[in-house]
Chains A and B, each alone.
Chain A
Amino acid sequence: MILDSFKLDGKVAVITGAGRGLGRAMAVRFANCGADIVAAARTVSQLEETADLVRQVGRKCVIVPTDVGESAQCNALIAAAIKEFERVDVMINNAGIGEDSFGKPIEKITDEEWHRGIDVNLSSQFYCARAVIPHMVAAKRGKIINVASGYGLRGGKHNYMYACSKGAILQLTRSLALTYADNNIQTNCIVPGIFPHNEAMMKFFKGGKFIPIGRPGQDEDVGPLAVFLASEASNHVNGELIIIDGGGLAGGVTPMGVAPGNPT
């Protein structure tokens, strides 16, 4: 039956950026579908909160404080997951920074800011994939889910590091997908639109009123998409970017609510 193919019973998912936002929402959703979680982020107190939510629905959660911008820490994260569960079925590369940093003129951006952003947003996904793939190859199966952004497909004013790192994630996804198709490892990419995580972002994005569907994304919207991509239901979906943005990227050549002829 089709619904059974979405179940994640007993699967082990490593999720970076699991202390809040999309990462936490995916962790809780996965637990509600039967998965155990290895939660990674820098801030232990936030990881503890995620772990509580996962354990409340009866699943295991191991927390691994990690700075994903450091390759040794990504290696240690995967090693910790293997030590606890002896395998990783799903790797979700979700950690990211800088979505609230738009607006800084190019001449004010330091080398350190640029490199730190690229390390956390992009290199982390490479580091975690590199560490987890040998285990998935040995297991003859695996699912890698990379989280990018609509800014990986379109540009923005004063938006350099974020747009570049997210755009490169799409290419990392495609090349991993082609390389490991023979090993039964599917790599796909979630491309979220506007998901304001705080008041300042909500204000910056004007409450999401320009989003075609009429509302901004909520963290919980991403959970079911990640479940689909982690489950057997997506076994022939590989190297794909799935945009979850309320329709924004389907358009963009006219302002929202402005159309030729009668207004929409």
Chain B
Amino acid sequence: MADVKTLPAGLKEFSLDGKAALVIGAEHAVGRVAAITLAEAGAKVLIASQDAGTEDNLKEVAKAIEGVGAKALIQVQRAALRADLSATADLAVSKLGGLDILVTALDAPFYGPAENADDSAFDRVFEENFKTAWMAFQEAGRVMLKHGGGVIVNINSVLAERGVPNATLYCAAKGAVRNLVRALSLEWARRGIRLNMLECGWIDEEGAVALEAGDFSEKLIKYLPYRRLVKPEEIAGALLYLVSPAASFVTGESIAIDGGLLCRV
């Protein structure tokens, strides 16, 4: 765990010593990195998942968190979304002593022709990418507003900023979260809550649907500025900057971790 005393003077504000954090989606590669990063910087971490059946995954993440000397707590939710998220925010307060940081690492991709997508695809993509983030912001925000503030970071995608054919619903849901972060950051700016976002480029993640389809991955990699996919652990620095007091004047903003992909024509 971070020892503030041995940190260079210029890095003090990057420490999360004594903070309580909630990470939703730690069963996925990027969320796992997020949870462990917060723990390494000194936070106590509650990891929560919306999916029953992810408990083994979360246990492994909790072990990694305890491995760096931080406190870990697991919550797998099986009931309705709203009640779950509300209970989880309260659990952070009762078991970790507060809720200073929320990280939402939600990702439900959907790829396919727009004219063939049925309503269940719409419901699933918007629920898992947008609605869960919205409700998590509300429920964590409710607790943070009551306790003097906090920091929220949503882990999003570069598709929040650009269109991609065959990814229409996904782009729409990701873009919706982008603008939610802008609007809500303004609404809570004077009430002590900062909201920001990461926008990940194409992540090298096991089971990534798009990357396993046909020769997409091969053609994509040649197009990327770094000619390789983003490793999940490469989000860690930007995440720590945004959740820590080092970024106390940054809100409503987004940092892309894409090697420069968004600069391309």
Contact = CB atoms under 8 A, between A and B. Distances in A.
Contact of A247 (B37, B231, B234, B251): B251
Interface residues of B, number: 52
B260 A2 contact: no
Interface stretch (A44-52, A69-77, A133-141, A173-181): A173-181
A170 B11 CA distance: 27
A201 interface: no
Contacts of B182: 250-251
A6 B11 contact: yes
B189 A246 contact: yes
B237 A231 contact: yes
B237 A228 contact: yes
A212 B190 contact: yes
Interface in A217-253: 217-218, 221, 223-225, 227-228, 231-240, 242-247, 249-251
B250 A225 contact: yes
Interface stretch (B58-66, B100-108, B113-121, B240-248): B240-248
A162 interface: no
Contacts of B7: 3
A232 B183 CA distance: 32
A101 interface: no
A228 B258 CA distance: 16
Nearest to B191: A264
B187 A264 contact: yes
Contacts of B256: 237, 240
A246 B193 CA distance: 11
Contacts, number: 168
A57 interface: yes
A227 B11 contact: yes
Given A33-B10, A177-B260, A228-B246, A212 B236 contact: no
A213 B226 CA distance: 36
Nearest to B2: A3
Interface in B212-236: 225-227, 230-231, 234-236
A172 B255 CA distance: 18
A237 B14 contact: no
Contacts of B185: 212, 247, 250
Contact of A236 (B37, B194, B259, B262): B259
B140 to A, nearest CB: 18
A250 B195 CA distance: 11
A231 B189 CA distance: 28
Contact of A233 (B194, B237, B247): B237
A238 B238 contact: no
Given A178-B225, A236-B234, A243-B250, A212 B189 contact: yes
Contacts of B165: none
Contacts of B2: 1, 3
B8 interface: yes
Interface in A1-53: 1-3, 5-8, 29-34
A156 interface: no
A242 to B, nearest CB: 6
Given A233-B240, A234-B237, A242-B253, A181 B189 contact: no
Given A6-B237, A177-B225, A234-B238, A33 B249 contact: no
29 contacts: A2-B240, A3-B41, A5-B237, A7-B11, A32-B8, A34-B10, A177-B260, A178-B263, A181-B259, A181-B260, A182-B225, A182-B227, A223-B10, A227-B11, A227-B246, A228-B238, A232-B237, A233-B240, A236-B201, A236-B230, A237-B256, A238-B260, A239-B262, A242-B253, A243-B252, A245-B249, A247-B189, A250-B182, A259-B187
Given A177-B263, A244-B249, 20 more contacts: A32-B10, A33-B8, A34-B8, A174-B260, A182-B227, A193-B249, A214-B190, A218-B249, A221-B249, A223-B10, A227-B246, A236-B231, A237-B238, A237-B256, A239-B225, A239-B263, A240-B258, A247-B252, A249-B253, A259-B187
Interface of A: 1-3, 5-8, 29-34, 57, 174-175, 177-178, 181-182, 193, 212-214, 217-218, 221, 223-225, 227-228, 231-240, 242-247, 249-251, 259, 264
